[in-house]
Structures are given as C-alpha cells and as structure tokens.
C-alpha cells in the first residue's frame, strides 16, 4: 500500500509560507506566528516579494531563492496569484502543500475552472495538498500549528478531520477550557486533492491518536470511506457529525426505495456499516471523542453513580436507562460497606447519594474505590466533587465571620486536592466520568481536566458520553466483516436488460423483473403472463386458485390504488370479471400477469438506489401498504456481508416480526439475507439498473417470497 499523502504533510522538516508579512492584520501573518510561537522546531521560510525579514526570519522573494526544497508549502494569498506560485514550488520539487486560499469551487463556475487548473498543476508536479479554502493543520506531537489560534501546551490523544475550518481552530479556546487536546487536526477545505477518507486513514494509523472525530458535510468516495473506516473501527473509535442530510439535499426516485433513501438516511446506514458512532452536536463530538480517547475501554453496561445530591444522581440514572446502560442496585454486601461511610439518611444502593456530605475523600476516593473493586460495575460517573469553586462562594458569605482569615488560609484548612483520585481509571481499568457545575476555577475540576479525566457540565451529558463508549464496545465485539464475492454475470439477465433498453423502456415490466431476479436465485412468485382472457383462465388453472391478477407493462411502475390489481381471485367467474376490469383501467393491449396468491401476514421490502460517490445502496424494511406510513427502513452500501444483513434486520423497529410472533414461525433470515445480497450484487453487475424495488416480500410460512418487483433503468449511470 502506498504511503498516505498526509504522512509527510503532517510531519514536515521545513515549511515555506507564502502570504506571511509583518502586518498583524493579515491572516498569513497570524498563521505564521502560530508556527513560530507554538514551538515548531523545523525550518521556517517566509516568502515575500519585498520584505527582507518577516517576523524576525529572513524572507525570500520566490521559491527558487530558497536554500533548500521545503517539505511543505503553505499558501495564504489571493486566488488570482496562487496558480503560478504553486507551480514555482512544483518546479523546485516541493511535494506537499496546504492551500488556505479560498475563491474556488465554492464561489461558482469561474472558481470551479480555477480549481481544475489547480488540480492540473498539482498532478503535473506530483504535489499532494490539503485545501483549498481550508484553515490549516495541527500536529501537537511536533508542535506544528498552521491555524489562527494557539494550541494547548501538551499533546493530546484526540484526532480530528473536519470539512469546516472553524471546528479546527476557532474552537481551540473553547476546548482548552474543557481540557480537550488534539493529537492531530486537519481542516480539509474543498478536498480537491486530499479528502476525508485520506484523513481518516492517516489518523487511524497514527499511534498517538486514540480516538477520531469527523465533521462531515459530504463524502465524494463513499465506497473508499467505508472501506477505510471498516479497517479502523475494530481497534480505534471513530465518531462523526454529518450535517448534509436535510430535506433540501434529498433526492427523489421513481421507486419507493429511491423516494425514501435521502442523504441523512444514507449516512445513518453507512456509519453503522462502517462502525462509526454518529452524533448530532459538535459539543458531543468533542466530549464523547475525548472520553473514548482518554478512558479505558468499557467492558459492560453496568454503571455506578456516586453523588452528593439526589437530583444529579436521578438525572444520570435516567439518561443511562434511556441509552441502554444499566444502573444496577448494589448487593447487600456492597451497600453495607458503603452505609458504614455515609450518613444514616443517605442511600448506598446505586446511585450512592451522600446528600451534601462535603467529605471529598469519601465522595471522590474511598467510596468510588470500594465500588470499582466490587466487580459490580463497569464504569463510574461522579457528581459533586468540588473544592475551591464551591468554597469561594461560602467564603464570600462568611468572610466577615472569619475575621482576618484569607481565602487561601481558609482553603488550606480544609485539606489539599486528593491526587490519588486521578489514578483510579488506570488502576482499575475502568472509565470514570465527572459531572459538575463548577468550571476550571474549581481546583478539582481543573485537576480532573489536567489528568485527562473527562468533565461534563451537566449530569445527562456524562451519561450520554458513556453511552457512546458502550456503543463502541458493541462495535468492537460485532461479527467479523467478511466481504462477499460477487457471482458471475448471468447472460440471461443481460439479455433481459438489453432487450428493454433497445425498446427505450424506463423500467422492466414486473414479469421481466422477476425473471431477472430468479436467475440470481431470488425466490419469486409462480406466475404466467396472459394476453387474453382465455390465456388467463388457463394460467389460473395451472397455478391453482386463488390467484392474483396485475396489469403488466414497463410503463406502469406503480399499480396500487389504480384498479390495476385484483387479489384473492377464487374462481373462473371472478377471474373473468377481474381481467376485464383491469383491462378497462390499463388499456386493451396491456398483458395481465396471473400470479399465485401468497399466504402470509408479514410483509417486508428490499430495494436499491444509487447515490453519487457511493454507488448502489441496498434498503430493507417493513413493506406492503405501510411502507410510506412508517418508513421503517435501513440502508447499507453494496455488496453486503452476512454481518451487514444481520445488522439491517436488527435496525428496523419492526424487527420482532422476523421472530416467532403470534403463532407465526421465525423467518428464515438466511434466505432473506440471500435476497438482500442478490439485490446488491445485481446492482453491481448491471450498472444500467438505476433502482430496484421489491415490495412486498411476503413471508409465506417462514420463507420470504418476492410478490412484486420494479426494476428502473437508466442507461449506464456513473457510480
């Protein structure tokens, strides 16, 4: 495998900055100061057309004047002058760049043309670059900061790749106040050359990065993104916020499948498929990522809650319950041990509520250690551990009573911060999260942050972060992904599709669609196409009553509610009436499909639709007349592994219908798996197919059978 382009870009031995000056009002100057002031130890070369020195460093007029070829060139200049400058570095042999400059695709057609020229120059000189229209990068291990704000003093374990520059740099002050520090951070901008999948791959391989967070507005190469993520998530947590899935960005299709599978729905599916934890707020992205980056892995769902107040304990417990975590009642033995340390009116059952007991040794060390050693919990959340922040409020009210006692002396009289607390997560290999209403002005809050123990400023936020840790535990433990091999192309299927395309059909008729499915092993209804009433009668006699009758034409994509279907036709007389009624509704030349009448009360759907950058995506869910009402569906990229289909079955709200249910046997999900896999395989083998809609798939006894099928054609679309 070739080296990730970010390896050199994030670890340059020398940097040239084009756009730095001695004017502090210029963005290039601010970013150059970040390189100088935050401690980067490599060589720094400012490029300026007239200044002799920039920020105390010798300046160079042009790239060819430099004493060496820099590993990295950074451009913070107007877009109108960027292209020749990039080419000048290409000529001397620089192979990596960060292009802060904006004014490209995001500005319209003219900017798009300039972006194309930028790509041509980069390809000509084999330059790999981040941007344009980005804010820079951070590598805290080598003190490299190309952004506009200062980074924390110590390196961190959390990696970030973001399609917004703001979330890389404007948040740095915000993150410092929460004790959160990056290992690496990458602002990707327009992703012309290096994209989100490259960044994910780089962070996945980075040993200093213990958890990865992604801010995503769109993905160009969805197949590669999922492939990269699948390799990383079994050993390193990845969390993402996606914000491009609103109604404004949704696409509609000709089938039910296409109409339902909008971008937000798609990203839910691909994140699950890839093992990525999806979050819906930027604050949660940072804080949940920080918890996963700093705490030991969660081994189970049992949570111990220790507080000095009933309200926060109740909120934490309620949030745990809502997120599939368990706050178990402690054993009598453990409760007795705790009751010996708390007041008689306090409770030790879990949550442990010390009810305004300010003995921090008991609240933050003695009782937590007893609980951690007990074997009855897998994680701990504490609320109310505080000292100087709270006592400042007490002192302000009581200082007149205390006479000449200063606040510092008052504080000393109550003992120091207990340092042994901060070793508890490592000592017992167990996550410990802190809930508090005190900021960094409190010495315990500051000490927790300084010791990489996550602090949350509301009780439920701590529980929700622990829920992400539990979600990652299940991701680590899920069945190994085994790529399913594609079957060979079936030439009968090719003939069916080519025949329809020659006739300029937009879709296959139902009978042809089922023939296509059948050659790939999909179970379909027994049926005969009839052009006359006499043929229909003969067909029903052969199949056996009751039967279903349907108009069958490639021009009729949806038949429900239009008088084009007759179900449960029980004899010849009713068949003739149904045949004539359908002919009247559909037209005298439309063939009628005579079909076995399946017996089954459970109906599902399977389908496929395509998205630019992702290719074919397979949908599964509740089918029949409730499809649009409940929209109980899930989606994955093709091809599907057995693990993918199992997780799709578990995704839907109506999943209990797949099991023994009210006298109906458990569905043979192995056969349902083969249907879903076939839908994906057919889509990959036949790119002329735009959409597939199998609805309903009726469960007859325990066996799934496709009762209706629509295959929409679109020539040979791009994947």
pLDDT at 171: 95
pLDDT at 117 over 60: yes
pLDDT at 404: 79
Residues 6+ apart with CB under 8 A from 339: 348
Tokens encoding 284: 């949660």
If you average pLDDT over residues 79-90, what whole number do you get?
96
pLDDT at 697: 97
Q: Which of 357, 215, 341, 368 is nearest to 286 (CA)?
A: 215
pLDDT at 479: 82
pLDDT at 250 over 90: no
The 8-class DSSP code of residue 484 comes to P
Lowest-confidence segment of 58-62, 116-120, 347-351, 529-533 by average pLDDT: 347-351
Q: Which of 155, 165, 91, 113 is nearest to 134 (CA)?
A: 165
Give the C-alpha separation, 444 to 603, whole Å.
57
If you average pLDDT over residues 141-151, what whole number do you get?
96
Mean pLDDT over the full length of the chain: 92
Tokens encoding 581: 């009624």
Residue at token pair 């057609």: 109
Q: Which of 562, 551, 627 is nearest to 594 (CA)?
A: 551
Give the predicted TM-score (pTM) of the model: 0.93
Q: Which of 671, 705, 709 is nearest to 689 (CA)?
A: 709
pLDDT at 119: 96
Please count the other Cβ atoms lying within 10 Å of the Cβ belonging to residue 245.
17
pLDDT at 663: 85
pLDDT tens, 329-340?
999 999 999 999
If you average pLDDT over residues 364-368, what whole number do you get?
95
pLDDT at 257 over 50: no
Confidence of residue 624 (pLDDT cuts 50, 70, 90): confident
Residues 6+ apart with CB under 8 A from 487: 520, 681, 685
Q: Which of 554, 503, 551 is nearest to 531 (CA)?
A: 551
pLDDT tens, 677-702?
999 999 999 999 999 999 999 999 99
If you average pLDDT over residues 303-312, what whole number do you get?
94
> Distances from the Cα of 160 to the Cαs of 67, 225, 718, in angstroms?
34, 15, 31
Give the C-alpha separation, 62 to 48, whole Å.
7
Lowest-confidence segment of 14-23, 269-278, 398-407 by average pLDDT: 398-407
pLDDT at 398: 78
Residues 6+ apart with CB under 8 A from 677: 484, 639, 640, 645
Residues 6+ apart with CB under 8 A from 403: none
pLDDT at 249 over 50: no
If you average pLDDT over residues 322-347, what whole number do you get?
93
Indicate left, alpha or beta for 307 from its phi (over 0: left) and psi (-120 to 50: alpha): beta
pLDDT at 245: 64
Q: Where do the domains of the chain lie, and which CATH numbers do they carry?
A: 6-245+262-292 (3.40.50.720), 295-477 (3.40.50.261), 486-525+598-719 (3.30.470.20), 526-597 (3.30.1490.20)
pLDDT at 253: 44
Give the C-alpha separation, 312 to 306, whole Å.
9
Q: Which of 505, 521, 497, 526 is nearest to 679 (CA)?
A: 521
> Distances from the Cα of 258 to the Cαs of 45, 608, 649, 664, in angstroms?
53, 7, 20, 31
Burial (CB count within 10 angstroms: exposed 0-12, middle 13-18, buried 19+), residue 654: middle
Could you give the 3-state DSSP secondary structure of residue 442? Answer: coil
Give the C-alpha separation, 653 to 669, whole Å.
16
pLDDT at 715: 62
Give the residue ranges of DSSP H helices in 177-309: 196-205, 222-232, 256-260, 263-274, 282-294
Indicate left, alpha or beta for 355 from its phi (over 0: left) and psi (-120 to 50: alpha): left
DSSP character string of 328-383? PPPPHHHHHHHHTTS-TTSB-SSSEE--S---HHIIIIIHHHHHHHTTS-SEEEEE
pLDDT at 260: 45
pLDDT at 354: 87
Could you give the 3-state DSSP secondary structure of residue 620? Answer: strand
Whether residue 386 contacts residue 438, with contact meaning beta carbons closer than 8 Å, is answered with yes
Residue at token pair 């990489």: 452
C-alpha triplet 567, 572, 577: angle, nearest 5°: 65
Residue at token pair 């990056």: 182
Return the HEC string of 648-697.
HHHHCCCHHHHCCECCECCCCHHHHHHHHHHHHHHHHHCCCEEEEEEEEE
Give the C-alpha separation, 121 to 216, whole Å.
27
pLDDT tens, 556-580?
888 877 889 999 999 999 999 999 9
Give the C-alpha separation, 243 to 197, whole Å.
17
Please count the other Cβ atoms lying within 10 Å of the Cβ belonging to residue 361.
13
Whether residue 316 contacts residue 383, with contact meaning beta carbons closer than 8 Å, is answered with yes
Neighbouring-strand partners of residue 604: 622, 697
Give the C-alpha separation, 242 to 190, whole Å.
16
DSSP character string of 511-565? HHHHHHHHHTT--B--EEEESSHHHHHHHHHHH-SSEEEEE--TT----TTTT-E
Pairing of strands 633-637, 43-47: unpaired
For residue 316, the Cα-to-chain-centroid distance in whole angstroms is 25
Whether residue 161 contacts residue 199, with contact meaning beta carbons closer than 8 Å, is answered with yes
- Percent of the chain topping pLDDT 90: 82
Whether residue 358 contacts residue 308, with contact meaning beta carbons closer than 8 Å, is answered with yes
C-alpha triplet 319, 324, 329: angle, nearest 5°: 75
pLDDT tens, 174-204?
999 999 999 999 999 999 999 999 999 999 9
């Amino acid at each position: 495998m070739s080296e990730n382009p970010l390896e050199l870009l994030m670890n340059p031995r020398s940097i040239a900055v084009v756009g730095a000056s001695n004017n502090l009002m210029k963005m290039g100057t601010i970013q150059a100061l970040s390189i100088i002031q935050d401690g980067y130890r490599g060589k720094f070369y400012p490029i300026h057309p007239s200044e002799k020195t920039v920020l105390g460093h010798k300046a160079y007029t042009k790239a060819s004047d430099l004493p060496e070829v820099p590993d990295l060139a950074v451009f913070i200049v107007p877009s109108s002058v960027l292209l020749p400058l990039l080419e000048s570095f290409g000529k001397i042999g620089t192979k990596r760049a960060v292009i802060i400059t904006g004014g490209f695709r995001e500005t319209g057609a003219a900017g798009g043309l300039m972006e194309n020229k930028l790509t041509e120059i980069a390809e000509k000189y084999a330059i790999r670059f981040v941007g344009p229209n980005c804010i820079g990068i951070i590598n805290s291990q080598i003190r490299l900061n190309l952004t506009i704000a200062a980074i924390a003093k110590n390196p961190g374990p959390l990696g970030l790749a973001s399609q917004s520059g703001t979330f890389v740099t404007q948040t740095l002050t915000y993150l410092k106040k929460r004790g959160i520090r990056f290992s690496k951070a990458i602002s990707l901008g327009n992703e012309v050359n290096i994209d989100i999948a490259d960044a994910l791959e780089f962070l996945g391989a980075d040993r200093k990065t213990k958890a990865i967070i992604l801010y995503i507005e769109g993905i160009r190469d969805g197949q590669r993104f999922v492939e990269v993520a699948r390799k990383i998530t079994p050993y390193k947590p990845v969390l993402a916020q996606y914000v491009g899935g609103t109604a404004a960005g949704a696409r509609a299709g000709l089938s039910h499948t296409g109409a339902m599978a909008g971008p937000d729905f798609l990203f839910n599916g691909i994140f699950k498929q890839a093992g990525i934890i999806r979050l819906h707020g930027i604050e949660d992205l940072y804080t949940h990522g920080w918890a996963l980056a700093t705490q030991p892995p969660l081994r189970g769902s049992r949570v111990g809650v220790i507080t000095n107040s009933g309200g926060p304990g109740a909120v934490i417990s309620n949030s745990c319950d809502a997120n599939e975590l368990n706050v178990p009642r402690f054993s009598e033995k453990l409760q007795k041990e705790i009751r010996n340390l708390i007041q008689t009116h306090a409770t030790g059952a879990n949550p442990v509520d010390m009810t305004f007991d300010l003995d921090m040794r008991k609240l933050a060390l003695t009782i937590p250690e007893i609980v951690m050693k007990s074997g009855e919990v897998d994680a701990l959340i504490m609320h109310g551990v505080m000292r100087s922040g709270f006592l400042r409020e007490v002192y302000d009210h009581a200082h007149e009573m205390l006479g000449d006692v200063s606040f510092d002396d008052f504080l000393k009289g109550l003992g120091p911060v207990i340092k042994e607390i901060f070793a508890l997560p490592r000592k017992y290999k167990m996550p410990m999260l802190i809930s508090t209403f005190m900021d960094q002005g409190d010495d315990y809050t500051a000490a927790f942050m300084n010791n990489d123990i996550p602090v949350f400023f509301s009780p439920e936020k701590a529980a929700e972060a622990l829920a992400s840790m539990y979600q990652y535990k299940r991701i680590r433990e899920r069945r190994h992904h085994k790529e399913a091999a594609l079957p060979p192309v079936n030439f009968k299927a090719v003939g069916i599709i080519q025949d329809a395309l020659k006739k300029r059909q937009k879709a296959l008729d139902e009978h042809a669609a089922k023939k296509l499915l059948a050659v790939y092993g999909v179970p379909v209804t027994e049926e005969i196409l009839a052009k006359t009433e006499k043929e229909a009668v003969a067909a029903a006699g052969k199949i056996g009553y009751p039967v279903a009758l349907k108009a069958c034409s490639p021009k009729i994509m949806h038949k429900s509610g239009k008088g084009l279907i007759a179900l449960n036709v029980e004899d010849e007389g009713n068949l003739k009436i149904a045949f004539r009624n359908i002919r009247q509704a559909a037209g005298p030349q439309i063939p009628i499909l005579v079909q076995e009448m399946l017996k089954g009360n459970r109906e599902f759907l399977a389908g496929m639709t395509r998205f630019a950058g992702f290719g074919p995506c397979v949908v599964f869910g509740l089918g029949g007349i409730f499809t649009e009402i409940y929209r109980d569906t899930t989606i994955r990229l093709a091809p599907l592994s057995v693990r993918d289909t199992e997780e799709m079955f578990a995704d839907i709200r109506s999943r209990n219908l797949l099991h023994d249910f009210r006298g109906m046997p458990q569905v043979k999900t192995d056969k349902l798996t083969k249907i879903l896999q076939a839908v994906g395989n057919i889509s990959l083998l036949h790119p002329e197919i735009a959409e597939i809609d199998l609805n309903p798939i009726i469960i007859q006894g325990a066996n799934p059978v496709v009762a209706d099928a629509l295959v929409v054609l679109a020539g040979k679309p791009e994947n």
